[in-house]
Amino acid sequence: MSLRQCLASTSRATATKTRPRLTKSLCLPTLSGISRLCPTGPAPVHVRHASTLPQRSDRFNKLTKSHIGELRKLVGSSSSILSTLDGSATEDDLKTYNNDWMNKYHGKSQVVARPRSTEEVSKIMTWCYENDIAVVPQGGNTGLVGGSNPIHDELIISLSSLNSVRSFDPVSGVLVADAGMVLESADGYLAEKGFIYPLDLGAKGSCQIGGCVATNAGGLRLLRYGSLHGSVLGLEVVLPDGKIWNGLSTLRKDNTGFDLKQLFIGSEGSIGIITGISILCPRRSSSTNVAVFSLSSYEDVQKVFSETKTHLGEILSAFEFFDAASYALVRRMQKHHGEEPKKVFEQEGDFYVLIETSGSNAEHDEEKLTNFVEHLMTSEMVLDGVLAQDTTQAHSLWSLRELITEACTKLGAAFKYDLSTAPGEMYDLVEQMRARLTEKGLLKGDWEGDVGAVVGFGHMGDGNLHLNIVAKQFSEKIQDVIEPFVYEMVKEKGGSISAEHGLGSMKAPYIGYTKSETSIEMMKQIKQMFDPKGLMNPYKYIV
Amino acid sequence: MSLRQCLASTSRATATKTRPRLTKSLCLPTLSGISRLCPTGPAPVHVRHASTLPQRSDRFNKLTKSHIGELRKLVGSSSSILSTLDGSATEDDLKTYNNDWMNKYHGKSQVVARPRSTEEVSKIMTWCYENDIAVVPQGGNTGLVGGSNPIHDELIISLSSLNSVRSFDPVSGVLVADAGMVLESADGYLAEKGFIYPLDLGAKGSCQIGGCVATNAGGLRLLRYGSLHGSVLGLEVVLPDGKIWNGLSTLRKDNTGFDLKQLFIGSEGSIGIITGISILCPRRSSSTNVAVFSLSSYEDVQKVFSETKTHLGEILSAFEFFDAASYALVRRMQKHHGEEPKKVFEQEGDFYVLIETSGSNAEHDEEKLTNFVEHLMTSEMVLDGVLAQDTTQAHSLWSLRELITEACTKLGAAFKYDLSTAPGEMYDLVEQMRARLTEKGLLKGDWEGDVGAVVGFGHMGDGNLHLNIVAKQFSEKIQDVIEPFVYEMVKEKGGSISAEHGLGSMKAPYIGYTKSETSIEMMKQIKQMFDPKGLMNPYKYIV
């Protein structure tokens, strides 16, 4: 029985008590961190044309065996330096650092340093500065735009050995920790104390909190807890000349001069290496609820979003959307896996929204959500809906949204775009892209063209669209139809060509589609001011 | 009957329904915007020693009558330029602009420009740049540190004629407005649409939203809605050379390069003039509750704060505290006004906390708060409590906290400090200051010494203490006992000498107590980069 049927035969008062059971057919596989981080299907090969990748710059020195000897003197442990130059590592050992997890970006570095303290990072950076050695700071290496891999032979400084909690104040909720701490570990530490890390990502099992700050990661909790520009209270950074900047304040308020830490949030390793983080963590909500609805139009998605904010207000923690093509893609993947997808909705729609609430009082939250669900189901805004009854079902509902990324990668070569516009205009981008690919003869019927599917999904609450074009295989012909068209569409709407993934190597050349010449000029001056030798993460970001 | 008595005779279930009535004795005067902005008592005269005020710099040109003629050609309306140089204004006319509202800071400017568009601001600034004219951008001129008044003869650019809403998107909640819009007007505009401006200040009837961004104002809603670094989405700024920087994005997410707008938030007019703002506004809560408790120790204040976050979670919107000395000061002021202060608490305490909730469901919020109040009253954490029954009573309870500022100013010469530390250490600052003033023979018995009272109050939730030393009259002797001792205390605790008021003229020389040499050096470079001629708001902020 769907929710609509259930509610039709239930009074409002009773509905509060008897939450409709989720249909048993909803038994989707849940996500595992590993499968999401290491897709085994055809590798997506959408990278910048080789001709556009910058040449190695002669202003950087090449690392030699004798350099490695000097580097070893700066660190306490022999395992802190891995290099093919002195035989302490093989090329294979360095692949994890040279290549990204999608195997899209391939560096040629011969040296990885894994310092164990901020002081060691500082010593290494001072040495690099004096010797004109280019550097790539690396966190969990889970980025999507080639920002954390070398392009040529840059020295990689991995933060993975800097991974301890430094302090936690249960009155203020302020956590101070090393930058290399894995996000999931930080959140686990906080969970034991009744707090939550104000950021959540698919890659949380691998990504590091320092990398998240360096890339200004957005993720699933942004709607509720806001951006890192608001929640990060302080940073410790090793500057390009090796100096340690101690901006690791734990104060929530401090109006004494420019808020310097803000420059490092989202700086993608271009002006310093973040080694420590101070962040304000909220209390963990004791109650969480998840519901998914099918809808007939994007206009209804917007109406439901607006209604959701009115009715669920302070307990709303996520509002995600995906289109019918995304939903079909996940079901297609399940069939490829030999599974027969189960029926989730009595009435499927052209759109779906996932609503999550988190609050401090389970009874109140359930009442709010049930009343709201009833309001939606008796309106013309939704076609059908399902409400999770327990954590397992909540995970299953989330997987409807989260498996889309995996399906895009496993069913073909995915051209992935992470865009933002005003929420009202967001879906136009998907429709315009479909029209263009159809017009060019690439998108036809049911997987009959070179492009199998164009899907749109994302964080509706943040105006953040993930537009994925799933081709049977990569071709420059398809890419040339997509780009720069996709960026032109976004520019026309005053949107961003990278809502949360950053610029890295992939989008560096396209910044002009989102930022003005005046902005880019100011950014270049900032880069020059902090890193006059241009040693930090070269060839990317602001070039 | 106090809450404790009421609850003692009431079961939990009944308590939920029968909220104890507030004692009728609580009839405190409510605050009026005017009385708060224009205290009529002895003017506080705590300013920097005259000898420390910087001399006029010869690198700036002096304005002449012929300059005024040139300026007039840049603007559309003759009333946009006020000057004593061409007789279009008297010295008296310019006092509002030259002096701050506390009458502490006195500039000697002969020209005020009131441009009516961003383009006019740009033309004026271009002209100033070409003619080496120093400039002070001015919003509502409600600051507390002399940041918005000239020190010498700088040209004042007032934003007051730039005060329209540019757009509002009810789906995303993004407001775009001119910088000169008065905060209360912006909030009023949003209230009609069911939204709220994510910032609230005592000076809201006069302060401008641009000035609030330029000073990174904190205020009463920070605990709930976070800092402006999180909620401001974009800015339009006229740069020191007159160029317009259009960073007026309405996107919630945009990771394409350094987040430049962050540099202007809290820059106090030192690197540009903010002319437009894009800000994310939350839905307005339909239900608000206020309660005040008396407690016996600061340790209990912290315990209650922690418990409040656990029990009230997402509906908590303010947690303010004040000490017995603050409470006594307000009652003293009432007596001076010929009023007999009414009894508020059955049992008074050494400390008081004010808790406010805002949520989307009145019934749920009341139940949460009543359960929590019962929990507190049956614990040993509070002595007594009162709960507002309606808006008028809520205002009365708020006035217990808000009248403190007025009382400090009206009962003597107030030395005002706006400090932040970890919440746990905050009150040490008050106790140490009292000990020092007692030791120096300045603080004795009941207003028997030169100093009448040392009071501590503030935004507990933000770790923000307002420490006020109320002297019978200003003396350099008292000031020298207080300073730099007050800053040394803060430095020792890793705190901030200006939590929310900014640096301006008053605190510029003391930045070193909060910020490291490395930080100050970076700030100077940023200032130099944006404003190589040093025209913007000179002699203040970063000097």
Which fold is adopted by the domain B412-501?
Answer: Alpha-Beta Plaits (3.30.70)
- HEC per residue, A30-89: CCCHHHHHCCCCCCCCCCCCHHHCCCCCCCCCCCCHHHHHHHHCCCCCHHHEEECCCCCC
Q: pLDDT grade, residue B101 (50/70/90)?
A: confident
The mean predicted confidence, pLDDT, of chain A is 90
Does residue B240 belong to the interface with chain A, where contact is any CB pair within 8 Å? no
Q: Name the nearest CA neighbour of A104 among A56, A57, A50, A55.
A: A50
Non-local CB neighbours of B439 within 8 Å, separated by 6+ positions = none
Among A66-70, A199-203, B191-195, the least confident range = A199-203
Round to whole Å and give the CA distance between A6 and B169. 35
Quote the pLDDT of residue B52. 66
CATH number of B50-158: 3.30.43.10
Quote the pLDDT of residue A104. 85
Please, what is the Cα angle at B214 between B422 and B89, to 5 degrees? Answer: 135
Mean pLDDT throughout A433-447?
96
Quote the pLDDT of residue B369. 94
pLDDT tens per residue, range A243-283: 999 999 999 999 999 999 999 999 999 999 999 999 999 99
Chain B: give the shortest CA distance to residue A24, in Å: 32
Long-range contacts of B387-392 (CB under 8 A, 24+ apart): B387/B3, B387/B19, B387/B20, B387/B22, B387/B289, B387/B290, B387/B291, B388/B22, B388/B289, B388/B290, B388/B291, B389/B19, B389/B21, B389/B22, B391/B288, B392/B30
Tokens, residue A305:
């979003």
Element (H, E) at A97: helix A91-98
How does strand A135-138 pair with strand A174-178? unpaired
pLDDT tens per residue, range B393-411: 999 999 999 899 999 989 9
Round to whole Å and give the CA distance between B365 and B376. 16
Q: What are phi and psi of B17, to 5 degrees?
A: -85, -40
Does B35 score more than 50 pLDDT?
A: no
Chain B residues within an 8 Å CB radius of A229: 229-230, 259, 262
Greater model confidence, B39 or A119: A119
CATH number of B1-30+286-410: 3.30.70.2190
Q: Name the nearest CA neighbour of B75 among B109, B112, B126, B119.
A: B119
**In B, residues 518-537, which contact A (CB 8 Å cutoff)?**
518-520, 522-523, 525-526, 529
Quote the pLDDT of residue A72. 97
Does A4 score more than 70 pLDDT?
A: no
Quote the pLDDT of residue B102. 80
Does residue B468 belong to the interface with chain A, where contact is any CB pair within 8 Å? no
| Residue pair B198/B282 in contact by the 8 Å Cβ criterion | yes
| Residue pair B107/B98 in contact by the 8 Å Cβ criterion | yes
Non-local CB neighbours of A537 within 8 Å, separated by 6+ positions = A135, A136, A137, A147, A154, A268, A269, A270
Round to whole Å and give the CA distance between B462 and B466. 12
- In terms of CA atoms, which chain A residue is nearest residue B250? A422
Q: pLDDT grade, residue B314 (50/70/90)?
A: very high
Does A17 score more than 70 pLDDT?
A: no
Residue B169 burial by Cβ neighbours in a 10 Å radius (0-12, 13-18, 19+): middle
pLDDT tens per residue, range B475-506: 999 999 999 999 999 999 999 999 999 999 99
Q: pLDDT grade, residue A52 (50/70/90)?
A: low
Cis peptide before B538 (omega within 30 of 0): no
- In terms of CA atoms, which chain A residue is nearest residue B495? A251
Q: Name the nearest CA neighbour of A241 among A525, A534, A523.
A: A534
A230/B257 Cβ within 8 A: no
Does residue B370 belong to the interface with chain A, where contact is any CB pair within 8 Å? no
Residue A262 vs residues A155, A319, B260: alpha-carbon distances, Å: 26, 27, 9
Quote the pLDDT of residue A42. 37
Does A367 score more than 80 pLDDT?
A: yes
Quote the pLDDT of residue A48. 52
Quote the pLDDT of residue A40. 33
Does A208 score more than 80 pLDDT?
A: yes
**In B, residues 348-367, which contact A (CB 8 Å cutoff)?**
358-361, 364, 367
Q: pLDDT grade, residue B46 (50/70/90)?
A: very low
Quote the pLDDT of residue B220. 83
Does residue B269 belong to the interface with chain A, where contact is any CB pair within 8 Å? no
Does residue B50 belong to the interface with chain A, where contact is any CB pair within 8 Å? no
Mean pLDDT throughout A458-482?
93
Chain A residues within an 8 Å CB radius of B213: none
Mean pLDDT throughout B103-129?
96
Mean pLDDT throughout B106-128?
98
Q: What is the ipTM of this complex?
A: 0.91
A519/B260 Cβ within 8 A: yes
Single-letter amino acid code for the residue at B375:
H
The domain segmentation of chain A, as residue ranges, is 1-30+286-390, 57-158, 165-280
Which fold is adopted by the domain A57-158?
Answer: 3.30.43
Quote the pLDDT of residue A409. 87
Choosing among 3.30.465.10, 1.10.1740.10, 3.40.50.880, 3.20.20.70, the CATH entry for B165-280 is: 3.30.465.10
Coil, strand or helix: which one is A298? helix
Tokens, residue A260:
């310097």
Cα B10 to chain centroid distance, Å, stands at 41
Nearest to B511 among A194, A226, A257 (CB): A257
Which value, to the nearest 10 degrees, does the dihedral of the CA atoms of residues A505, A45, A101, A527 take? Answer: 0
Quote the pLDDT of residue A202. 85
Q: Name the nearest CA neighbour of A301 among A332, A276, A286, A323.
A: A323
Q: Name the nearest CA neighbour of A121 among A275, A291, A285, A340.
A: A275
CA end-to-end span of chain A:
57
Common-topology check for domains B1-30+286-410 and B412-501: yes
**Orientation of helix A65-72 relative to helix A118-131, angle to 10°:** 150
Does A64 score more than 60 pLDDT?
A: yes
**CATH class of the domain comprising A1-30+286-390:** alpha beta
| Residue pair B159/B275 in contact by the 8 Å Cβ criterion | yes
Residue A501 burial by Cβ neighbours in a 10 Å radius (0-12, 13-18, 19+): buried
Chain A: give the shortest CA distance to residue B5, in Å: 27
Non-local CB neighbours of B260 within 8 Å, separated by 6+ positions = A519, A522, A523, B245, B247
- In terms of CA atoms, which chain B residue is nearest residue A219? B253
Does B10 score more than 60 pLDDT?
A: no
Round to whole Å and give the CA distance between B22 and B343. 11
Quote the pLDDT of residue B229. 98
Does B38 score more than 50 pLDDT?
A: no
Does residue B76 belong to the interface with chain A, where contact is any CB pair within 8 Å? no
- In terms of CA atoms, which chain B residue is nearest residue A169? B422
A231/B231 Cβ within 8 A: no
DSSP per-residue string spanning B352-382: EEEEEEEES-HHHHHHHHHHHHHHHHTSSS-
**Rg of the Cα atoms in chain B:** 24
pLDDT tens per residue, range B205-218: 999 999 999 999 99
Round to whole Å and give the CA distance between B150 and A77. 58
Q: What are phi and psi of A288, to 5 degrees?
A: -130, 140
B172/A423 Cβ within 8 A: yes
Quote the pLDDT of residue B388. 93
Round to whole Å and give the CA distance between A9 and A391. 26
**Orientation of helix B428-439 relative to helix B485-492, angle to 10°:** 150
Does residue B194 belong to the interface with chain A, where contact is any CB pair within 8 Å? yes
Mean pLDDT throughout A326-337?
95
DSSP per-residue string spanning B11-50: -HHHHHHSPPPPPTT--PPPP-HHHHHS--SSPP-----G
Tokens, residue A35:
């499968």
Share of chain A above pLDDT 90, in %: 84
Cα A440 to chain centroid distance, Å, stands at 31
The mean predicted confidence, pLDDT, of chain B is 90
Tokens, residue B98:
């030259």
A501/B245 Cβ within 8 A: no
Does residue A542 belong to the interface with chain B, where contact is any CB pair within 8 Å? yes
Mutation target vs A (from B223, B231, B256; most A CBs, 10 A cutoff): B256
Chain A: give the shortest CA distance to residue B400, in Å: 23
Quote the pLDDT of residue B48. 52
Mean pLDDT throughout B4-25?
37
Non-local CB neighbours of B24 within 8 Å, separated by 6+ positions = none
Does A15 score more than 50 pLDDT?
A: no
Mean pLDDT throughout A289-316?
95
- In terms of CA atoms, which chain A residue is nearest residue B518? A245
| Residue pair A124/A482 in contact by the 8 Å Cβ criterion | no
Q: pLDDT grade, residue B51 (50/70/90)?
A: low
